[in-house]
Amino acid sequence: MRITRCPRCRAEDLTADAHPTRLLQNGEVAPVFVCRNCFRAAELEFRIACEANGISYRPLGIRDSLRLLRDFYRQRLADSPDDARVSVALADIERRLAIAPV
């Protein structure tokens, strides 16, 4: 079973519990997945980086977050097809994506 470590704390396994945020790298916004514990701090760091670089900060929309998570879990499932935790996480995200926005 493959483990995907949180890139921020390098401790938590986020294979089946990832939280999408963003990083500012060389002026480019890149999506990144962190663990539950790191999420708020990572989002705050991104916001501060945006302000420092004159980029307007906007929170990630819920559907954009869900799409990123769907792609993330699909990739994890391709890496570890037998990992039931990932199947459950992906099914939950697809169920939430299927609910039309009000």
β-partners of residue 30 are 23
Q: Under the criterion CB under 5 A, does residue 44 sit at the interface with Zn ion?
A: no
Q: Is 43 in the site for Zn ion (CB under 5 A)?
A: no
Nearer to Zn ion, 49 or 97 (CB): 49
Contact 72, 18 (CB under 8 A): yes
Q: Residue 35 in contact with residue 14, Cβ under 8 Å?
A: yes
Please name which of 31, 41, 35, 40 lies closest in space to residue 12, comparing C-alpha atoms. 35
Q: Which residues, numbered 70-89, are part of the site for Zn ion (CB under 5 A)?
A: none
Residues 1-20 that bind Zn ion (CB under 5 A): 6, 8-9, 12
Q: Which residues bind Zn ion (CB under 5 A)?
A: 6, 8-9, 12, 35, 38
